């Protein structure tokens, strides 16, 4: 069996406990991957632009294709070009699993009504124009139907609300992503904007320790490529 994942390499190592599978991980930026000497022998990382036409040697190669957390990379509310590449990588009868955050369900919560969430909310308000530039993200909750329209069999969308014990962990993750946004996007446009967002984030980190959280649902969508696959519209 071959399994292919776009993933953080650390998680790849954790999941590669079976020696009988070959796990190929793909990312456009391999600087994030550990040296190959530190990967299990059945795990390999490859450079791939997932949005470009699929290289011939990857067509029909994998039993399972797994993709996670591409929500911020999908443009025009349309994951179909990427999905077609993923389906192209599958053997007939192979399975696809796509894990995503549903940002549409995003909300700010507090552990106690007396806690003021205004700085965490201010961080979200600050980054909203950048988020909005990418267009709506309603495709995430429609992904099961999109799988069906692309000819995948038995598409199922599973929705998971974040358990409260993970609120803090998830919030710190989200804040660190926005810190990256402040450096990689805002600083390049106007350093003052980047600095302003980082100031808000440093207060938001403290608020998150007091019990303010940003949470959104996760969705997991699975489907099977038919023996004879006809591309959808």
Ligand X SMILES: C[S@@+](CC[C@H](N)C(=O)[O-])C[C@H]1O[C@@H](n2cnc3c(N)ncnc32)[C@H](O)[C@@H]1O
In sequence order, the β-bridge partners of residue 212 are: 110
User: CA-CA distance, 23 to 137, in Å (whole number)?
Assistant: 30
- Is residue 32 close enough to count as binding ligand X by CB under 6 A? yes
Beta carbon of residue 70, minimum distance to ligand X (angstroms, whole number):
6
Comparison of 82 and 148: residue with beta carbon closer to ligand X: 82
- Is residue 28 close enough to count as binding ligand X by CB under 6 A? yes
Exactly one of 21, 50, 122, 148 binds ligand X (CB under 6 A); which one? 50
Non-local (6+) Cβ contacts of 64 within 8 A are 1, 2, 3, 4, 90, 94, 95, 96, 97
Which one, of 181, 94, 106, lies nearest residue 140 by Cα? Answer: 106
Q: Which ranges of 19-151 does DSSP label H, i.e. alpha helix?
A: 80-89, 118-133, 143-149
* Count of chain residues binding ligand X (CB under 6 A): 14
Beta carbon of residue 8, minimum distance to ligand X (angstroms, whole number):
4
Q: Which ranges of the chain does DSSP label H, i.e. alpha helix?
A: 9-15, 80-89, 118-133, 143-149, 167-181, 187-189, 191-210
Exactly one of 21, 44, 58, 69 binds ligand X (CB under 6 A); which one? 69
Of the listed pieces 47-55, 138-146, 152-160, 210-218, which binds ligand X according to CB under 6 A?
47-55
- The encoded tokens of residue 171 equal 């919030």
- Is residue 24 close enough to count as binding ligand X by CB under 6 A? no
- Is residue 10 close enough to count as binding ligand X by CB under 6 A? no
- Is residue 166 close enough to count as binding ligand X by CB under 6 A? no
- Is residue 180 close enough to count as binding ligand X by CB under 6 A? no
- Is residue 202 close enough to count as binding ligand X by CB under 6 A? no
The residues of the shown chain that bind ligand X, judged by CB under 6 A, are 6-8, 27-29, 32, 48-51, 68-69, 73
């Amino acid at each position: 069996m071959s399994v292919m994942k776009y993933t953080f390499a650390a998680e790849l190592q954790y999941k590669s406990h079976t020696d009988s599978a070959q796990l190929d991980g793909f990312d456009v930026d391999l600087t994030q991957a550990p040296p190959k000497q530190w990967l299990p022998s059945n795990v390999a990382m490859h450079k791939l632009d997932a949005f470009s036409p699929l290289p011939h040697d990857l067509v029909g190669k994998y039993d399972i294709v797994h993709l996670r957390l591409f929500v911020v990379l999908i443009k025009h509310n349309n994951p179909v070009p990427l999905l077609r590449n993923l389906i192209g990588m599958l053997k007939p009868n192979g399975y696809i699993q796509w894990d995503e955050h549903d940002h549409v369900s995003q909300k700010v919560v507090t552990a106690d009504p007396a806690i003021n969430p205004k700085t965490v909310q201010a961080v979200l308000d600050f980054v909203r124009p950048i988020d909005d530039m990418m267009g709506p993200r309603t495709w995430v909750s429609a992904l099961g139907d999109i799988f069906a329209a692309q000819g995948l069999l038995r598409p199922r969308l599973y929705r998971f609300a974040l358990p409260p014990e993970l609120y803090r962990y998830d919030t710190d993750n989200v804040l660190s992503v926005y810190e990256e946004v402040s450096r990689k996007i805002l600083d390049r446009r106007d350093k003052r904007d980047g600095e302003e967002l980082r100031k808000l984030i440093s207060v938001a980190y403290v608020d998150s320790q007091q019990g303010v959280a940003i949470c959104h649902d996760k969705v997991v969508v699975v489907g099977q490529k038919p023996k004879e696959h006809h591309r959808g519209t």
